[in-house]
Amino acid sequence: MDPCQSWGAMALLCLLVPGGHPDPCRVSISPEEPAVEFGTSLLFNCTSSCRNYTRLSWEVSVTKIEEQGPGWVTLSIPNVTDWRLELHCFGIFGERRDIATTTLHAYRFSPPRIYQEGDTVAGRETHVTCNASAQASPPDPPNLRLTLWGEGLSPSTRQGPSVTSAFTVQPEQHGREVTCEAVLRLGRRRMVNASATATLWV
């Protein structure tokens, strides 16, 4: 039962509170939190919960390549060349319209690489560095975090593009593994990660 018709006081409340009346017809976009590599392609699908719309379409600042079916309309972006792109899909249902919005994030990401530097003589200090790089929509710099760890190494985490861990060379460390993980955050929730592993040579 519609809660707005079930009770007098409730009905009044529903009239007073904007959006209080549950709207039967909604549009939604998938994927919800899009993020792709710069220069790649992406297909969006906007669906309507009702079929009685007079129009279901995209509103975007790029050339539209749409395809329609019953209750849906897709948007194809063959080459994402905006770091950040707002996309709107709207449906017109009689007097009403519903809009769904999403932000597409593009990124460039080169996965981490581990370098061992300095002396490899027992008792001397040496260090391991992990580098990764990323590019994403402003604000710059990109939200890239690197974590480097391994047996006999104190784990260290830093904002990219580089993290270094120093340690005193011990012969038994030869052949041990070190790992570096890079996590790039895009927008509020999306993240892209990659990791690398290397073997110590002492």
Residues 49, 74: contact at Cβ < 8 Å?
Answer: no
CA distance 52 to 164: 60
Six-digit token string for 23? 């709207």
Candidates 1-9, 13-21, 73-81, 139-147: pick the segment binding ligand NAG (CB under 6 A).
73-81
- Site size toward ligand NAG, by CB under 6 A: 23
CA angle (133 as vertex; 105, 135 as ends), nearest 5: 30
127/172 with CB nearer ligand NAG: 127
Q: Does 162 bind ligand NAG (CB under 6 A)?
A: yes
CA dihedral 145, 149, 154, 159 (to 10 degrees): -10
Q: How far is the CB of 182 from ligand NAG (least distance, A)?
A: 8
Task: State which residue, 67 or 172, has the beta carbon closest to ligand NAG.
Answer: 67
First CA to last CA distance, the chain: 73
5: left (phi over 0), alpha (psi -120 to 50) or beta: alpha
69 interacts with ligand NAG by CB under 6 A? yes
Stretch that binds ligand NAG, among 7-15, 83-91, 102-110, 190-198 (CB under 6 A): 190-198
6 lies in the binding site for ligand NAG (CB under 6 A): no
As beta bridge partners, residue 90 has 57, 99
Residues in region 24-53 near ligand NAG by CB under 6 A: 24-25, 39, 45, 47, 50, 52
Applying CB under 6 A, which residues contact ligand NAG?
24-25, 39, 45, 47, 50, 52, 69, 72, 74, 79, 81, 93-94, 115, 129, 131, 161-162, 181, 193-195
